[in-house]
Homo-oligomer: A and B are copies of this chain.
């Protein structure tokens, strides 16, 4: 049976981390909310499920419904060889994913520092202040941490964990894509000091299934409704 992914249909957002894992796995899935009436189905699921998710994305696999991006990836990683089978390696992969999730949340908050209930235009002054710290301190600090993880991988710096692709590698790719879209100048500066991160990003983009996905209409372009938004004034 095909997986059912539930996520907002017009943005990459957090759902994209799940889409990339499903695509790399070659898994059969339906992106439910992109079908007609799909958003209404998603909202009913959130309201009435035995295990309701606080927010999209969530994934349905038969009778199992899983929410929270990192938990979905933990589940898919074990099922599709996108994480090491040994418990320590699996947990380390998850720890990296959770740290990437923290970076992604901070990226989001640059354009919504006051709250999700207001438009960007209504919190632009606060956004300018928050984005400065994000691009000067936080992007370099997170990318430097990922660089260190790659440099210390006993199997070499081609992957975050072990000698094969994991969902953490895919999430690194998506995060660098997003940061490069939203903060092109700041991210280019930080990537110069994180060559392993830049190389892994580029290598993921060339993986056959990911390359085909990125060129397909299934890949929604970045836009200013999503998680990573390009407001030039926030890039300094």
Contacts and interface: CB of A to CB of B under 8 A. Distances in A.
Given A109-B109, A117-B137, 5 more contacts: A53-B95, A66-B92, A75-B91, A123-B129, A126-B126
Contacts of A71: 91, 94-95, 98
Contacts of A129: 114-115, 123, 126
Interface string A118-156: 100001001001100110011000100100110010100
A102 interface: yes
Contacts of A215: none
A53 B154 CA distance: 17
Interface string A38-54: 00000000000011111
How many identical subunits does the complex contain?
2
B113 A95 contact: no
Contacts of A1: none
A66 B54 contact: no
A114 B133 contact: yes
Contacts of A205: none
Contact of A113 (B92, B126, B149): B126
B74 A94 contact: yes
A54 B134 contact: no
B92 A51 contact: yes
B142 A54 contact: yes
